[in-house]
Amino acid sequence: MADLPTKAKVVIIGGGIHGLSTAWKLSETYKNPNDIVVLEKKDIAAGASGIACGVVRNNYFQPAMRELMAHSVGVWESDPKTFKYNPVGYMQISPEIMHKDVASIYEQQKGIGYESVFIEGEKDCTNYMKGIFDDWQAKGITSVLHEKKGGYAFNKDSIRGIESKANANGVNVHKGVTVTGFKRGSNSKAVTGVVTNKGTIDCDQVVIGAGPWARDFWNMLDLPKKTKIKGSNGTTHEVDMWTYWFLQEGVLGVDANYLRTNEGKQPPVIHVDTDAPLYSDQSGDLLTDKLWGIYYKPDIEGLGVQGGTSPYIVDKHFDEVKVDPYGLESPDYQTTDKFADMWTSALAHCQKRFVGKSNLYRKGPSGGLGCLTPDSFPIFDRFCENVYMIADANHGYKMIGVGHLVAQEILGKESELLKPFRFNRYEKGELHPTSNSPFPWS
């Protein structure tokens, strides 16, 4: 590994999807050695990007999110082989309470030329689903949005693919280098250098793509712990800047081809939200009669079917949440038996092939923390004059294109797609619309 330089044009912090895709795109313009320096405390894909389920979709109720996702899907499609991207499509399967929201998503997808099919009415939805999986049995579904684009990618492999593209343009990712603080100018708020455990790098600009560690960098920059939000009634209130959620995911240990369609093909990613009562596949007990949601797809390691349910809020002030060690190594945050019962029962609720299969759930560490913003949507903005923060509010593995747009902004060209995600939207009350989905990011 090359020595850590003492000077750079841009220091990028984080070897996940956002840090590396920003480095890749920026390196098409900044070509001199050490123009761009990427710092990663552990290894690439050591954070959320390396454990993401890998789902790539457009289905968002917020127009600005949808346009951004359509842009990112274009980047995934630009090199599916390197990104290990499977363009199998994505299905949002919903109950009546979400019908209107999803219908508007479909209309707007047509408007932006994003190919999808929309089925309405319980009978037609059941027939459509049975046309894909003849064992489909979920009741009370009154709309199906079938996105023909999107699908899923292999989490770690795609991050390696992006690193290789940045490497090919001469960028070095310095692994095992932990950022501990920032050097500040005497006459302005600007950052003049990035302080690490292996030395300080003076620089003109900084990009932070720190995923669940966004909070730590926010604190290092002395930014406020509360944010003012102007509500729709014009009054302003203050909320905590960050909230941690725990993403619950797991794998059912069945044959790698278990989820094939009637035609023997790879299935689209399935996402079901419903208010139908859910009963345990193990005990027959009622698990919930409130709105619930799950998603599933083939496991990327061929271990069976992988997916998850809605995440839950970590009931602690953000400064008290222990993010390290992260993911599968975390002693504090792992999925539980309750999750396994709920998710496997939900699979059985949807497809007959999963009935009586909950005992095949693969026990072991899974899931991970996400750091969400005050409205649970991303913040892409500059702070302290020259620090660009990519705080994706855990929407972000699918957002492979954000780094491209951030690179443009670093080079001085404002991105229309990123503009709706500025920090001052809270104070101005320019918030994204919210949907009826049980997930914080739909």
Contact residues for ligand FAD (CB under 6 A)?
13-19, 39-42, 46-49, 51-55, 178-179, 209-213, 247, 249, 367-368, 370, 390, 392, 394-398
Nearer to ligand FAD, 273 or 392 (CB): 392
Q: What are phi and psi of 244, to 5 degrees?
A: -90, 140
d(C-alpha 111, C-alpha 439), whole Å: 25
Estimate the crossing angle of helix 96-111 against helix 63-78, to 10 degrees: 60
Nearer to ligand FAD, 179 or 417 (CB): 179
Nearer to ligand FAD, 61 or 397 (CB): 397
Which residues touch 13 (CB under 8 Å, ≥6 apart)? 19, 38, 39, 179, 194, 206, 207, 208, 209, 210, 217
Nearer to ligand FAD, 176 or 231 (CB): 176
Nearer to ligand FAD, 119 or 391 (CB): 391
Nearer to ligand FAD, 161 or 212 (CB): 212
Q: Shortest CA distance to 308 belongs to which of 277, 276, 336?
A: 336
Is residue 42 within 8 Å of 31, Cβ to Cβ?
no
Three-state SS at 175: strand
Q: How far is the CB of 300 from ligand FAD (least distance, A)?
A: 11
Amino acid at 33: P
Q: How far is the CB of 264 from ligand FAD (least distance, A)?
A: 25
Q: How far is the CB of 46 from ligand FAD (least distance, A)?
A: 4
Q: How far is the CB of 435 from ligand FAD (least distance, A)?
A: 17
Q: How far is the CB of 390 from ligand FAD (least distance, A)?
A: 6
Q: What are phi and psi of 217, to 5 degrees?
A: -75, -35
Q: How far is the CB of 158 from ligand FAD (least distance, A)?
A: 10
Nearer to ligand FAD, 210 or 241 (CB): 210
Q: How far is the CB of 275 from ligand FAD (least distance, A)?
A: 24
Is 415 buried (19+), middle (13-18) or exposed (0-12) by CB count in 10 A?
Answer: middle
Q: Shortest CA distance to 152 belongs to which of 70, 51, 56?
A: 56
First to last CA, the chain: 41
Burial 89-108 (b: 16+ CB within 10 A, else e): bbbbbbbeebbebbeebbeb
